[in-house]
């Protein structure tokens, strides 16, 4: 199935049906009357929403990058910052959301800019911990493009810490992962950190 990532509105009918059955039962167990009007279609809606929120399992992130890999002799930093991100924490199946900042230094090949954001999307649309999400994005770009280095910073708020549990509304978690020049060269890392913290548009 090619370009699955562009087919956000198409769900596997049988999976949605089965999921809907389970969500109906979950609503009942939580004390709801699933026959009332407002809830009649809810199990199916939730099933589709969850299928969308986890659509990354059906995508190949490396393939996304390779589908727009171009030979180019630009050997400076490419930074795609402020990529919005919505993911699901694997412990509570609750959303965490924020921004990803991604950079790489090409080594003969560049990729389409949108593909960087698509890779973020692909890994975010799975059950995740923020640390693994950060490292997966880094490794995918490193493996697909073999650049001089990759840098990924993610800032996110976790609703499992806001809506329940410790209930801290304003805490933001920052994770980062680097390869190559970003690891070895403090100036390179500093340049990246400066770019992502600037208001330059």
Q: Find out whether 92 is annotated in a ligand binding site.
A: yes
For ligand GTP, the closer CB: 55 or 158: 158
Report, in angstroms and rounded to the nearest whole number, the Rg of the chain calculated over CA atoms.
19
Site residues for ligand GTP, 124-153, by CB under 6 A, read 129-131
Distance of alpha carbon 186 from alpha carbon 53, whole angstroms: 37
How many residues lie near Zn ion (CB under 5 A)? Answer: 4
Distance of alpha carbon 104 from alpha carbon 148, whole angstroms: 7
Site string for ligand GTP, 158-187 (x = CB under 6 A): x-xx---xx---------------------
Length reported for the chain: 201
Tokens of 121: 């999307």
Which residue from 95, 60, 93, 78 is spatially nearest to 152, judged by alpha carbons? Answer: 78
Using CB under 6 A, which of the segments 26-34, 51-59, 97-105, 155-163 binds ligand GTP? 155-163
Q: 150 forms bridges with which residues in the sheet? A: 104
* Residues lying near ligand GTP in the complex (CB under 6 A): 89, 91, 129-131, 158, 160-161, 165-166
* Residues lying near Zn ion in the complex (CB under 5 A): 89, 91-92, 160
């Amino acid at each position: 199935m090619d370009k699955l990532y562009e087919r956000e509105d198409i769900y596997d009918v049988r999976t949605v049906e089965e999921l809907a059955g389970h969500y109906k039962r979950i609503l009942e167990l939580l004390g709801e009357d699933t026959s009332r009007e407002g809830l009649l279609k809810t199990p199916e809606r939730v099933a589709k929403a969850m299928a969308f929120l986890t659509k990354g399992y059906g995508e190949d992130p490396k393939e996304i990058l390779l589908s727009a890999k171009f030979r180019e002799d630009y050997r400076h930093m490419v930074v795609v910052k402020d990529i919005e991100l919505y993911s699901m924490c694997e412990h509570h199946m609750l959303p965490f959301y924020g921004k990803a900042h991604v950079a790489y230094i090409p080594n003969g090949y560049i990729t389409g800019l949108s593909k960087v954001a698509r890779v973020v999307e692909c890994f975010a649309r799975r059950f995740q911990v923020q640390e693994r999400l950060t490292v997966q994005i880094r490794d995918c770009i490193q493996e697909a493009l073999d650049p001089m280095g990759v840098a990924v910073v993610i800032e996110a708020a976790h609703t499992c810490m806001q809506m329940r549990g410790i209930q801290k509304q304003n805490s933001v978690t920052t994770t980062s992962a680097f390869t190559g020049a970003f690891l070895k060269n403090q100036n390179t890392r500093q340049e990246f950190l400066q770019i992502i913290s600037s208001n330059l548009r």
